[in-house]
Amino acid sequence: MSPRRKFSPGEAPLLSEQPLPPGRDRRLPVVGAVAAVLMVAAITVCTLMLISHEARVTTASKNREVLSYVTGFMTGFTSLDPFHANDYVLRVQGDATGDFAKEYQDKANEILLQVARAEPATGSVLDAGVERWNDDGSANVIVATLVTSKSPDGKRVFENTTRWMATATREGNRWKISNLTTVV
């Protein structure tokens, strides 16, 4: 088509000035506004879901970290080797802080004598779980342990299960035990 096209008599012009049908000119902005609101709502929901997911992942990671430390500590704490009693006391003192460290330091000589006189024992953790996280960032962990030892003649095996409440506190980049009590 040439820009110099001639119109025949009675032919409608190419650009019509006829109004659009009623309601048609208002639909497009309304549909656009509804789509924009739906997009904002979808982005908000996705953001909230991502934040919730990240919080759960962070909490699960912290729980695994503290449970790994406490189960390792309790395995060593309940395993007694009378031939290495000094190493045992030094190892526990190295993992102690706060009230537990003070109490252990005060009773170190008594504990050393008890470990040196004891029969060798092997401790293991049956189960452990985080009871709660405290406001100061420490965690209360409940631990069930099994201690297995033999009689002096080696003929009988003794097993003792105990439940403990350990409070693990983070000092710098490592965990330490700030409180340890048996649970009845």
| 90 vs 67: CA distance, rounded Å | 22
Q: Which of 26, 17, 177, 182 is nearest to 91 (CA)?
A: 177
> DSSP character for 15?
S
Number of domains forming the structure of the chain:
1
Q: Is position 127 within any domain?
A: yes
Burial label for 154, CB within 10 Å (0-12, 13-18, 19+), is exposed
Over residues 76-96, mean pLDDT: 92
Q: Is position 85 within any domain?
A: yes
| 85 vs 120: CA distance, rounded Å | 10
Percent of the chain with pLDDT over 90: 71
| 160 vs 149: CA distance, rounded Å | 9
Q: What is the CATH number of the domain that holds 131?
A: 3.10.450.50
Using one digit for the tens of pLDDT, what is the confidence trace for 107-144? 999 999 999 988 899 999 999 999 999 999 999 999 99
Bridging pattern class, strands 121-133 and 174-183 = unpaired
Residue 27: predicted pLDDT:
81
Residue 112: predicted pLDDT:
92
Q: pLDDT band for position 18 (50/70/90)?
A: low
Residue 13: predicted pLDDT:
65
Q: Is position 137 within any domain?
A: yes
Place of tokens 């049908």: 21
| 49 vs 59: CA distance, rounded Å | 15
Phi–psi pair at 32, nearest 5 degrees? -60, -40
Higher pLDDT: 13 or 137? It is: 137
Highest average pLDDT, of 17-26, 66-75, 113-122, 155-164, comes from: 66-75
Residue 97: predicted pLDDT:
93
Long-range contacts at 126-129 (CB < 8 A, ≥ 24 apart): 126/161, 128/67, 128/70, 128/71, 128/74, 129/67
Mean pLDDT of all residues belonging to the chain: 89
Domain residues for 169?
65-183
Q: Is position 112 within any domain?
A: yes
CB atoms within 10 A of CB 101: 17
Residue 80: predicted pLDDT:
92
Q: pLDDT band for position 6 (50/70/90)?
A: confident
Q: Is position 159 within any domain?
A: yes
Q: Is position 21 within any domain?
A: no
The amino acid that residue 110 corresponds to is E
| 76 vs 64: CA distance, rounded Å | 18
Q: Is position 172 within any domain?
A: yes
Q: Is position 37 within any domain?
A: no
